[in-house]
Structure 1
């Protein structure tokens, strides 16, 4: 049976900036007692939302994503600020990025992007009956647009690999399954 590895010594922050981090942690391999070094990279925990209007259209964002070096269409998403719950964060992000809001949010799943090296959890939500409530409040580092299209068209685009964002892909398929099961 596989045993849990114990941490050896404190975690050391190598770099921390803009909510992103790089950390070093040593672990003891229980099989032979050797000390192994691991480097973790990541960011604060995050949220993403499949936000649907009353007529089943999805509200998406379009923005240049530096790591992908491409303009991508994605579900509204962002980091969970200190002191926020995932639900508080997803409501704030949807409003800030799109100007839409909803009274109907449901957490439909969560995942880690890489369980060996990225200790960051992403929470997926479904919001239904979304309505425009104000103008978006975009962060100065973001150049962001809002796209609204039929949910079924977005699912087809995801199936064809039209986005590289794993949070968007996972949240979309979790939402699709949830909607079919209702």
Structure 2
């Protein structure tokens, strides 16, 4: 079976600051056509960071699409042409005031591939120094520190609903926790 859907026609129905929304008429493997709505995003980065005391640095922030706050690892969108690791370093310092001296790339994930091309690169660091918080004008976050046992309990209790944070916590619990 052919697992492709060539685009026959494409229309941009929204052009925004963070996303573009396109409507694609595609040719299906069975010869018929269908419409697909596609969200185009430049990509994002996220950082699972541990301070010198061994605490995981999280941020709590309100997420409008959900109408409530989430606890997440620090993250943010890529600027056009920006290097992913450089963006991760920038976001970590802007949101938490910590600067990473070294970073390890955990992996890249598509959060919602059914309708979006957003690729999130996730990094880990426990090699930090103090920097400066520099939030965007419209960004309001609270730093929250979790011990590794807090992380484990939060996962067990299903208190973390953010995919990138769950993936980072999996990395911590499977690899970091056992390598100490």
Q: How many residues align?
A: 179
Change (3 A) 1:97 1:171: same
Q: How does 1:1-182 map to 2 (within 5 A)?
A: 1-9=1-9, 11-32=10-31, 34-41=32-39, 43-134=41-132, 136-180=133-177, 182=179
TM-score, length of structure 1 as denominator length = 0.89
Give the secondary structure class of the aligned counterpart of 2:135: coil
Give the secondary structure class of the aligned counterpart of 1:90: helix
What is the alpha-carbon distance in structure 2 between the residues aligned to residue 69 and residue 42 of structure 1? 23
What runs of 5+ residues in structure 2 fail to find an aligned partner?
none
Residues 109 and 174, structure 1, Cα contact 8 Å, conserved in 2: no
Residues 50 and 126, structure 1, Cα contact 8 Å, conserved in 2: yes
Change (3 A) 1:163 1:18: farther
Structure 1 consecutive aligned stretches of length 4 or more whose deviation exceeds 3 Å:
none
Residues 108 and 175, structure 1, Cα contact 8 Å, conserved in 2: no
1:86 is displaced (CA, Å) by 1.2
Residues 23 and 37, structure 2, Cα contact 8 Å, conserved in 1: yes
TM-score, length of structure 2 as denominator length = 0.90
1:18 is displaced (CA, Å) by 2.8
What runs of 5+ residues in structure 1 fail to find an aligned partner?
none
Residues 101 and 129, structure 2, Cα contact 8 Å, conserved in 1: no
What is the alpha-carbon distance in structure 2 between the residues aligned to residue 163 and residue 180 of structure 1? 19
1:72-117 CA-to-partner distances (Å, cap 9, x unmatched) read 2110000011121210110000010011011121111111112221
1:47-89 CA-to-partner distances (Å, cap 9, x unmatched) read 1111012332111111111112112211000001112121011
